[in-house]
Every structure is written in structure tokens, then in C-alpha cells.
């Protein structure tokens, strides 16, 4: 058996009807047992490369091909996707495209069952895989009633159950809570520990990559622009910026110290290395920044709010909370904690089974969704779940037409909203010819057109690269500055630290925490209850002796008396 698990030789690919190459002259050799991460901005070719490794490209996604891909000794062009799947398991970016079973156990069993294995072996593999991803107690859970994070865990379980020697994971944790993400990375690391499984991971989070990967491949414009140790890339601020990516927070802090002449030698990119080599807290006296500010009148009031789903699952239990005009609130907790269930009550997508909910001064009981939508706009995690028109303009205009506005007023409002979200030049484009980040902006625009007081935004940066995430959050911050109340459901603690002024922490359907992000990230007990993990920079600053809770890299710069760049 060859020591090479994967060989990509001068491989280029262009999708059918495309006028450009999505991959150009890719050359890669991956040894058995390697853990290789792939990074790149949106459109760099990451997912196309992933699908090339298990034969979906070019067998399912046809197009023009040059060069070759060889996996486990098989040239993918010469073998069917069915043959290749036995050797290469692929977790795709959208878990819903891979789930076919009615229950968790049935879905995890699909892969080994298709291999023709004995029933006992199939069920044993499926049950074991569910246990590994933290779903061992949910074998009978209906897949249609799973949260996004549970679906993502299930897809990972399905691939593990196939026991392929090569695993290709395309953003397998994008919808998972911090604890779940850490668990999946531990699982993937353990699968490769004996040197028999090769892991290829596409991921946007640099802190995870720096800790996990043996090797980092960076794509830009369909070409490999870096292929070496993660530390060499993340320690080069210019290379990171040129690729449109972000370095780990430890590396950002180290680069700032090096620029001030207070660090020499290698830039640390992991927390452990940073704690060893970075300068301890210099004892500065820094005033707190971004403390919680009391806002205006109540716009959301929940009193003993409860919700029980059919089948008896208690999703919310006695939630009492008030949200005021102008607040920017992060809604946090692990998958299944009740975050989305709570949020969907705010515009009538779900109704309380106990307690009371008051929106914009009036109880929601008896109010139709169309009425609540004028007060609370909801932007779904997947923008494709709420986009259906044939043009950007028509999508934004749809809600306004339902309000009975005249054509001239609608045209004015549409142009105004598209200008605010930076999409006026795309007004006549079909939504599904846009990138995901643009479709997310369109979903925000269509909700914003109704001028709601409150915007609920579910995972606004999932699946986006660093630049796309910054652009989306800049828009959300501007909307908050304009007076909109923001409720942001997210698993990204760095976003919470930088943008939110208040954090609601859910666990087991209960509201277990209501505080500001700085207090949250300094409260180990509350973090544990919510299965949350503080930003890396928080752990670094604490380990280096800072007595105050640091939540952002700019906060680190202030505590270490370094220059803080202007806000983007």
C-alpha cells in the first residue's frame, strides 16, 4: 500500500457553463494519517476541491477537467463515485443535503447499509458513531425536528459510521455551539491518532486550525498560495491579509507586541505557545470600554414563557426577560438550549404553550404573523429558507406589496433599503446567482423594508469568510446605531465580545444568564452552564496576569498599552 492517501496532480476544473476555472493547476500530496486544513476566502475553490476528492466532481458536478486526482490508489476519473465513497467520506457544508433517514439511527446507518454489511454490524457502527458525536441518547430523534447543530453532528456520525480511510470535512462545525465544536475536533483528532485515517478539513476558524492541523493549504482564486505548517502562515500578517483571512487572536496580539518592539522571534499561534512567550500584563490602568448601557422603553417582555413541542419536548420553561429599544443582545447557549424556539415566538412563528409574551406593548396572543412582522423582523440562519422571488428588487418589494403601498412608494422604499445594505447595483439580479453572503444581506433587506423595531438575526455569519463576516456585522451594527433593536443568535463568541452589549444565556429551555459579555466571559460557572467557551484572547490575557476580563484583541492592546487601530 502506498504511503500517499491523496495525490492531486496539476488538477484544474471548470463547472459546466462557467467561463472561468474554479480550480487551477492544483498540486497536493497527502500522506496517510495527516491532518490537513484548507482555508480560503469565499469563492477560493475549497468546496470544489473537497468534492473533487470523493468523485462528486466531475461525476455528479460535470465540467471541464485537466490533470488528475488519485485517492487511495484510485484515479477518480476512472471510477464511479460509489467506488470512491467507500474510501473517502465527505461531510458537505450544508447538512440538510446529506440527511435521508427519518431518525438519527436510521440516518447514521445509511452509509454502512449501502456497503452491504450485516445488519448487526450496521447498527453497531451507527450507534457507536452517534455516541461519539454526543447523540447516543437520541437514536429515535426525528431528523425533521433537529436543530441545525444536531443535524451537523448527525452528518458527521454518518461519515464516521462508514469507516472510510479518508475523511473530507467541509465546515463540519459551522452550526455547532463552542462546546460541540471542541468535541467534534477532539473526535476528528482521535480518529487520526493511530495514523491510519487521513483527515482533510475545510474551516474558517483559525484558532481551531492552529491547534489541530499538521499542515495548512490556503487557496486563493482556485490556486494554492500556501502549503506548509499553520504557524508559518498565521505568523505572517501580510500573507493572512492578502488571502482575506484572519489569524488566531494569540497571533494578532503577538504581532501587535512585535510591532512595538516588545517581542522577537517566532510569532506564537496557539494559546499554549502564547502563554509561554508573550509579555506578562504590564500593570496598566485602563478604563472599561463598551459596558452595558440601559436603553429605551420595553419592546419585548416575556413573562413565564414556556413552549412544549408535540411529543412532550420542553423547549422553553418559565422564561422571564425584557428587551428594550436600541439594545444589541446576543442570544447564546448550546444546540437545543431553546434559543431559536425563544426567537421564533417573537414574530409569531411559534406560540407560547404557557406564560405571556408582549411585543411592542401588546400581547402576541391573537395577533397574526403579518402584524407581528411589522414589529419584529426575523432573518433565518439559512437565507434560502426565506428567498423566493426572481430578482433582488422583487424580493425586497414583496412585503411592501402585502402592506398595500402604491407602486411609487414601493419603488422608493426598495431603492432606499438596497442602498443601505449595499445592493442597489444588484437589484435586477436573480437571488440564487448571488453568493451566500449577498443572499444573507438580501434577507436582511427584505425584512428591513418593513421597518421593524426589532431585528432577530439567526447566525448572521455562518459559512462566511472573515471579510464577509465583517461586512455583515458592520451592517448589523449600523442598523443598531440607526435605532433598531438587535437580537443575534450566535455561537461565535468573538462576535459577541465585539458587537453585543448584553448576553442572554439559555440552557435546557431556561434563561440561566442575563449580563454583559465581559461579565459573562469572566464567569466560569455561567460559561459552563451555557456550555460556552470564552474567546481565546480572554484566556490569554488571564493567563498573562491581567486582572480584568479582556474580550477582544483591541482590549488586549489597551491593557498592554499598545496602539489600537481605528475601528473598521
Cα–Cα dist 489/460, whole Å: 8
The enclosing H or E element of 524 equals helix 524-529
pLDDT value of residue 528:
95
CB 74 within 8 Å of CB 81 = no
pLDDT digits (tens, 9 = 90+) for 164-221: 999 999 988 877 888 888 888 888 888 877 777 899 999 989 999 999 999 999 999 9
Return the percentage of the chain with pLDDT > 90, whole number.
70
Average pLDDT, rounded, for the chain: 91
Residue 131 has pLDDT above 80, yes or no: yes
Nearest of 52, 125, 64 to residue 88 by alpha carbon: 52
Class assignment of domain 298-537? alpha beta
pLDDT value of residue 290:
53
Cα–Cα dist 187/136, whole Å: 14
CB 58 within 8 Å of CB 65 = yes
Please, where are the H alpha helices in 148-229? 148-162, 178-192, 206-212
What sign does the CA torsion over 35, 41, 46, 47 have?
positive
341 pLDDT band (50/70/90 cuts)?
very high
- Residue range 8-15: mean pLDDT, rounded: 96
- Residue range 392-406: mean pLDDT, rounded: 91
pLDDT value of residue 1:
54
pLDDT value of residue 568:
52
pLDDT value of residue 130:
95
Whether omega before 58 lies within 30 degrees of 0, making that bond cis, reads yes
The three-point CA angle 507-481-496 to 5° equals 30
Q: Dihedral angle at the C-alpha atoms of 403, 408, 411, 414, nearest 10 degrees?
A: -40
Out of 1.20.120.50, 3.40.50.300, 3.40.640.10, 1.20.272.10, which CATH number does the structure's domain 4-244 have?
3.40.50.300
Residue 459 has pLDDT above 90, yes or no: no
567 pLDDT band (50/70/90 cuts)?
low
CB 80 within 8 Å of CB 160 = no
Nearest of 266, 282, 286, 262 to residue 274 by alpha carbon: 266
pTM of the prediction?
0.89
pLDDT value of residue 288:
65
Query: What are 266's three cell numbers?
Result: 517566532
pLDDT value of residue 420:
84
DSSP states of 137-164 as a string? T-TT-BGGG--HHHHHHHHHHHHHHHT-
CB 29 within 8 Å of CB 55 = no
Query: In the chain, where does the domain assigned CATH 3.40.50.300 lie?
Result: 4-244, 298-537
CB 152 within 8 Å of CB 336 = no
Cα–Cα dist 218/90, whole Å: 19
pLDDT value of residue 293:
55
pLDDT value of residue 200:
96
Query: What are 395's three cell numbers?
Result: 424580493
Give the end-to-end CA distance of the chain in Å, rounded to a whole number. 52
- Residue range 12-16: mean pLDDT, rounded: 93
In terms of phi and psi (left: phi > 0; alpha: psi -120 to 50; beta: otherwise), the region of 229 is beta
pLDDT digits (tens, 9 = 90+) for 479-508: 999 999 999 999 999 999 999 999 999 999
Amino acid at each position: 500500500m502506498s504511503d500517499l492517501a491523496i495525490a492531486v496532480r496539476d488538477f484544474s476544473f471548470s463547472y459546466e457553463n462557467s467561463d472561468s476555472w474554479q480550480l487551477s493547476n492544483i498540486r497536493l500530496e497527502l500522506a496517510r494519517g495527516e491532518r490537513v486544513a484548507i482555508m480560503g476566502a469565499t469563492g477560493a475553490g475549497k468546496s470544489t476541491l473537497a468534492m473533487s476528492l470523493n468523485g462528486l466532481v466531475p461525476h455528479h458536478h460535470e465540467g471541464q477537467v485537466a490533470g488528475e486526482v488519485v485517492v487511495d490508489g484510485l484515479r477518480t476519473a476512472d471510477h464511479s463515485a460509489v467506488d470512491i465513497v467507500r474510501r473517502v467520506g465527505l461531510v458537505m457544508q450544508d447538512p440538510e443535503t446529506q440527511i435521508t433517514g427519518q431518525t438519527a439511527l436510521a440516518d447514521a446507518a445509511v452509509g454502512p447499509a449501502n456497503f452491504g454489511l450485516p445488519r448487526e454490524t450496521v447498527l453497531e457502527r451507527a450507534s457507536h458513531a452517534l455516541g461519539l458525536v454526543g447523540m447516543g441518547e437520541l437514536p429515535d430523534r426525528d431528523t425533521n425536528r433537529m436543530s441545525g447543530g444536531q443535524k451537523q453532528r448527525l452528518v458527521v456520525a454518518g461519515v464516521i459510521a462508514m469507516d472510510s480511510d479518508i475523511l473530507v470535512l467541509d465546515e463540519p462545525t459551522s452550526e455547532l455551539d463552542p462546546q460541540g465544536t471542541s468535541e467534534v475536533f477532539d473526535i476528528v483528532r482521535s480518529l487520526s491518532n493511530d495514523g491510519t485515517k487521513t483527515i482533510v478539513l475545510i474551516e474558517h476558524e483559525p484558532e481551531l486550525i492552529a491547534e489541530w492541523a499538521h499542515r495548512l493549504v490556503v487557496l486563493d482564486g482556485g490556486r494554492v498560495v500556501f502549503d506548509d505548517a499553520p504557524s508559518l502562515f498565521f505568523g505572517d500578517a501580510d500573507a493572512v491579509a492578502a488571502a482575506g483571512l484572519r489569524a488566531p487572536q494569540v497571533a494578532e496580539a503577538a504581532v501587535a507586541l512585535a510591532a512595538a518592539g516588545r517581542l522577537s522571534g517566532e510569532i506564537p499561534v496557539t494559546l499554549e505557545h502564547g502563554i509561554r512567550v508573550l509579555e506578562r500584563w504590564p500593570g496598566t490602568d485602563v478604563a472599561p470600554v463598551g459596558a452595558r448601557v440601559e436603553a429605551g422603553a420595553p419592546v419585548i417582555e416575556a413573562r413565564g414563557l414556556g413552549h412544549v413541542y408535540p411529543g412532550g419536548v420542553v423547549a422553553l420553561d418559565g422564561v422571564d426577560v425584557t428587551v428594550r429599544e436600541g439594545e444589541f443582545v446576543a442570544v447564546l447557549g448550546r444546540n437545543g438550549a431553546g434559543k431559536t424556539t425563544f426567537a421564533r415566538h417573537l414574530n409569531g412563528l411559534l406560540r407560547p404553550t404557557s406564560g405571556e409574551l408582549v411585543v411592542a406593548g401588546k400581547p402576541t396572543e391573537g395577533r397574526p404573523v403579518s402584524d407581528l412582522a411589522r414589529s419584529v423582523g426575523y432573518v433565518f440562519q439559512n437565507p434560502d429558507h426565506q428567498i423566493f422571488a426572481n430578482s433582488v428588487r422583487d424580493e425586497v418589494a414583496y412585503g411592501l406589496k402585502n402592506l398595500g403601498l402604491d407602486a411609487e412608494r414601493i419603488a422608493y422604499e426598495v431603492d432606499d433599503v438596497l442602498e443601505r445594505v449595499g445592493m442597489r447595483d444588484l437589484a435586477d439580479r436573480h437571488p440564487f446567482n448571488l453568493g451566500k453572503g449577498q443572499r444573507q444581506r438580501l434577507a436582511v433587506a427584505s425584512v428591513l423594508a418593513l421597518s421593524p423595531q426589532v431585528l432577530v438575526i439567526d447566525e448572521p455569519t455562518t459559512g462566511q469568510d472573515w471579510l464577509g463576516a465583517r461586512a455583515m456585522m458592520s451592517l448589523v451594527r449600523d442598523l443598531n446605531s440607526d435605532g433598531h433593536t438587535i437580537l443575534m443568535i450566535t455561537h461565535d463568541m468573538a462576535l459577541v465580545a465585539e458587537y453585543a452589549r448584553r448576553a442572554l444565556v439559555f440552557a435546557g429551555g431556561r434563561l440561566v444568564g442575563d449580563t454583559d459579555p465581559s461579565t459573562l466571559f469572566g464567569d466560569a460557572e455561567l460559561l459552563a452552564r451555557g456550555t460556552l467557551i470564552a474567546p481565546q484572547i480572554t484566556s490569554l490575557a488571564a493567563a498573562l496576569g491581567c486582572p480584568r476580563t479582556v474580550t477582544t484583541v483591541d482590549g488586549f492592546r489597551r491593557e498592554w498599552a499598545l496602539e489600537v487601530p481605528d475601528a473598521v
